[in-house]
Structure 1
Amino acid sequence: MTQKLQGQVALVVGGASGIGRAIVECFQAEGATVAVADFNLEACRQWAPELDSRITLHAVDVADEASVQAMVDDVLKAHQNIDVLVNCAGILDETPLLEMSTETFDRMVGINLRGVFLVSRQVAPHMVERKRGRIINIASQLALKGGVGLAHYCSAKAGVLGLTKAMAHELAPFGVLTNAIAPGPILTPMLQGLSPQWIADKEAELPLGRFGMAKEVAPTALMLASSPDGNLYVGQTLGPNSGDVM
C-alpha cells in the first residue's frame, strides 16, 4: 500500500511533545521525512531515536524573528524542500482576566499567534515558488467558544483562525493550501497549565465524556497534508473536539 506522504518533507514546529509529536510520528509512518523544530530539543532527543533517520531536529524560538529565519534556512539546507508545514508550537496557562498582566498576554500572543505568522511568512515564499504546499495551523476549539481564565489563549488562537483564512485566500492561487485544526481538550503536557477544577469542569461538559488523545488528532493533519484527501480544503477549520463545538 502506498504511503500517503512518500517522498515529502514536512516541517513540524512544536513537534517535541503532545499533538506535535503525534503528528511527527504519523507523518513518518506515512513516508515523510520530518524536520522537527522546537524550543525544547532535549524533549525531542529522548524519543527521536525511536524513529528512523528521516528525522532532523532544529532549535527555534518561534517568537523571535531571527531564530525562525535561521531555523527555516537550516531545514532547507538539510532537505532542500518543505512540502508540508505544521504550526503546532504553543503554550497554555490559566490566568483570570482581572489578574492578567500585559506581559502574560503578550507572551501568549507572541508564541501562539506571532509564531505562526513568523514561521509561515518564512516558509510560504518557498512553497509559492514551487507552486505547491500545505500549511496546517493548530488552533483550539476555545478560539470559537472562549474559556474562563483563558482570555489571552483564546485571543491568540482566534487570531490563528483569522490568519489561516487570510493566508488561504492569498496562497491558494499559487497551489499552497492553508487550513487549521481546532482540537478540543487533549491529554497532553499543556494541560499542566490548567487547574484540576478547570479540567474537571470541562470534561463534564463534553458530549463524548472524555478528553481526546494526541494520536486522535494527528490523522486530521495527515488528511489535510495528503493528496487527494486534502485537495479541496482551503481556509477550513476542522474540529476533533469531543463534541465541545457543534
Structure 2
Amino acid sequence: MSVRTVIVTGGAGGVGRALVGRLLDAGMTVITCDIDEDGLKSLVDEHHGRPLHTYVCDVSSHEDCDRFMDAVLAAHPEVDGLVNNAGLYLGQPVWEYDDETIDRVIGSNIKGPVWLSRRFAGHLLPAERRGAIVNLASVAGEVGSSDALYGTVKAGVIGLTKSNAMNFAPHIRVNAVSPGLIVGTAIADRIPDYRYAEYKRQELLDGDIRPEYVADVCAYLLGERSRTLTGAVLRADNGSYPR
C-alpha cells in the first residue's frame, strides 16, 4: 500500500522541501510544518493550486506538536504517512552547549518525533489502518559526529525507528533514512571544514548528495515497493563509512 496523505515536518527547506515537491508530483496530499514561516509561504507559492497544507510549528514544543496534530487529524483523518524530517544541527562540540540549547536539540530531534509518532499511531492503530513512518537519521548517528550532541540524538532516532517498528507492527511500517553530507543545506554550511573534507574523502561514489536524492529514498519508503521493509535504516550517503 502506498500512502496517499503525508505529513512532512521541516518542509520549508532542504530534504523536507524537496520531498514535499516529490510527493505532490506523485499525486499525494501533503501536510507540512516548519518554524520558518517565510519559507512555508514561498513553498505555497511554488506549489500554488496543489494539495499542500502548511502550518507553523516548532517540533521541539510539546504544545505545538499537539496543536499541529489536532488540526491535521481534524482536517485530514485519512492521513496515512508521517515523515519526521525536522531537526536541529549546530555544529559545535558538546562543551559549547548550554542546558537550554541541549534541551532544544533533544526536543527537535528526539522528542518531536516521539510525540508526533505517538499521535499518528494512536490515530491509525485503533482502526487497524495501514500506514508508514519515515524518520530522518544521519551517518552521525552511526559513526559519531564532531557535534557530539547531534551524533547522540541521531543514534536515538535510529533506536526509535527500530523500537516503533516493533510497537506499531503489523499495521504501520517504520523506517529511517541515514544521509551523509547533503550539500545545499544548513548542516553543510555549518560543518567544520576538516569534517566536510573527511566526509567527501570517505564517499565511495562521486557526485554530491543533494536534498532531492535523499527525498527519493524517503518517497520509496512511503510506497508499495518497500512493503517488506520495517525497522530498516537505508543509507543515502554515497557509501561513506562502509559498515
Superposition TM-score, scaled by structure 2 size: 0.92
Paired residue secondary structure (1:15): coil
Pair 1:245–1:81, CA change in 2 (3 A): farther
Check whether the contact 1:10–1:32 (CA below 8 A) recurs between aligned residues: yes
Question: Does 57-66 or 102-111 show the bigger shift?
Answer: 102-111
Which residue of the partner structure matches residue 217 of structure 2? 220
The amino acid that maps onto 1:196 is D
Which residue of the partner structure matches residue 42 of structure 2? 46
Q: Are 1:112 and 2:120 matched, yes or no?
A: no
The amino acid that maps onto 1:104 is T
Which residue of the partner structure matches residue 14 of structure 1? 10
Check whether the contact 2:23–2:219 (CA below 8 A) recurs between aligned residues: yes
Q: Are 1:75 and 2:72 matched, yes or no?
A: yes
Where does the alignment leave 5 or more consecutive residues of structure 1 unmatched? none
CA deviation vs aligned residue, 1:62-84 (integer Å, no higher than 9, x gap): 11111111101111222222111
Check whether the contact 1:6–1:32 (CA below 8 A) recurs between aligned residues: no
Where does the alignment leave 5 or more consecutive residues of structure 2 unmatched? none
Check whether the contact 2:137–2:158 (CA below 8 A) recurs between aligned residues: yes
Residues paired across the two proteins, number: 239
State the alpha-carbon separation in 2 of the partners of residues 6 and 144 from structure 1.
Answer: 29
The amino acid that maps onto 2:62 is E
Which residue of the partner structure matches residue 140 of structure 1? 138
Q: Are 1:101 and 2:101 matched, yes or no?
A: no
Pair 1:156–1:90, CA change in 2 (3 A): same
Check whether the contact 1:9–1:32 (CA below 8 A) recurs between aligned residues: yes
Give the alignment partner of residue 19 of structure 2, picking from 16, 23, 29.
23
State the alpha-carbon separation in 1 of the partners of residues 158 and 61 from structure 2.
Answer: 21
Check whether the contact 1:184–1:211 (CA below 8 A) recurs between aligned residues: no
Check whether the contact 1:6–1:30 (CA below 8 A) recurs between aligned residues: no
Question: Does 92-101 or 23-32 show the bigger shift?
Answer: 92-101
Superposition TM-score, scaled by structure 1 size: 0.91
CA deviation vs aligned residue, 1:194-220 (integer Å, no higher than 9, x gap): 233332332223222443001111111
Pair 1:209–1:24, CA change in 2 (3 A): same
Check whether the contact 1:84–1:133 (CA below 8 A) recurs between aligned residues: yes
Percent same amino acid at aligned positions?
31
The amino acid that maps onto 2:30 is V
Paired residue secondary structure (2:180): coil
Paired residue secondary structure (2:169): helix
CA deviation vs aligned residue, 1:112-163 (integer Å, no higher than 9, x gap): 1111111111111112133211000001011000122x10001000001001
What displacement does 1:20 show? 0.6
